[in-house]
Structure 1
Amino acid sequence: MELRTAASPKDVKYYTTERLREEFFVDNLFKPGEITSVYSHIDRIILGAAVPLKPIMLTPGEEIRAEYFLQRREMGIINVGGNGKIKVDGTEYALKGRDGMYIGMGAREVIFSSEDENNPAKFYYNSAPAHKAYPTVYIKPEDCVRVELGSLEQSNHRTITKYILPGQVESCQLVMGLTSLKPGSVWNTMPCHTHDRRMEAYLYLDLPEEALVFHYMGEPSETRHIVVRNEQVVISPSWSIHSGCGTQAYSFIWGMLGENQDFDDMDGVSMSTLQ
């Protein structure tokens, strides 16, 4: 499990491109036949991926000092690959592409598998510290709350599918979903915002090889950017804006954890203050 420490905004404004990527950018998550994990001190999120060719069991790293991975944690998962299965304490769930799951604290055995090793499942997950055991839930995107925002005129017409949130799938602190931009739109989360009460992680998807996204971060008066491509992640601290502009339409999975779960608890940033 890779470990990332927290960073102060006073320091980040002096980072080089290389240092910025070392701290906040995550690549090579989806390794065939493996489970990969990144543990960030930013609200103690663990993000990672499982690409099973044969069944793989989730095990705790030394970093969390636990008997099993979800002893003190909860987890949200979205499959971004071929058909697969997740077995939780003996109960098996079949997930096709874009299906999701919430697994509550206390689940001892989590096993990932694929139906076809030539087209394996790609299970992307976010995990947060937990204080209460909520039920494990299989999530179909068609059953989720969906919100349409933006416009083609502003190049930000997008659909937000909310997988894990209060009132739909209960969790201790994890909120998770998928945003997809409409053809012709390239901006996400613009006008931008911060939310001091929680951090956020973005996994960018649906980008062909030659396409990319400029992910914008930093304080509103000290913005920076990170170039990201398909299936790459940016970890966004609570003090940072998190917005992006792509060379074409794309999707991204967002996961948030921290002080509260209110999706609309945001501090809007005036366009006139961005620098």
Structure 2
Amino acid sequence: MQVPAAIAPIVNLVFPPRCPLCGEGLSEQQGLCTACWSELAIPGAPCCSLCQRPFPDGMPDGAVCAPCLADSPKHDGIAAGTLYNEASRRLVLAFKHGHRIALAPLLARLMIARLGDIGPDWIVVPVPLHRWRLWRRGFNQAALLAHEIARARGATLLVDALERHRQTPSLGGLGRRGRARALSGAIRINVRRAAKVNGAKILLVDDVLTSGATSSACVSVLRRAGAEKVRIACFARVLDEALPHANDTAQTKTPGTEAPSVLVTKL
């Protein structure tokens, strides 16, 4: 939540601004210190023309990565605010498991910077939580991010367009088929929102994109409901091979995610 300018000095006096990662003093709320900003890995061009997987410098426009060549995605692109490394991992843990929901605007701003032409004619839909997990956690982190994005871009927020009506186990350590089995039938369209999804351009929002199994299940459901386009937005995307010194950052890798090849071809 943005602090109104009129009361910001009072809030800063009572709660001195601190970097959420290292505790360094800041000039204002909702930010990181310079050192922690520099630790984030921000994806950019060049990248895969289908999934936006980052490529090394010098790759031509229109290049497609090996995973997309092997299995063309059903979505219409991925916008990731950061690549998953130690710094983004700590932000996600503080946000989701540390209940620091005031980090939502900061994380969302990094996502918004990568969204391109998403605007008022789009519908923003969060990846759903099962009701028992929502009850235990107290909030859906994807819904908080979706709210910030929809407000910033003037888009329509449809927080309950998707339902996770069956609990699913942790996907870590499962192969592709195991993830697909775990998610089979677990996510469905909310029949009360089906008419709004039909023919719409959808931005699907989550905090972390790991193997892509959950987002793929959501995309499939939205496509079957008649969505015209479905793009995916996340704060952190697990792509260890895209990080600098990838062999030295294995400790940040999410269990159960394998680093695919980034061989490319020109269409």
Query: TM-score, normalization: structure 1?
Result: 0.33
Question: Radius of gyration: which is bigger?
Answer: 2
Task: Determine which structure has the larger strand proportion and give its number.
Answer: 1
Higher normalized helix content (fraction of residues)? 2
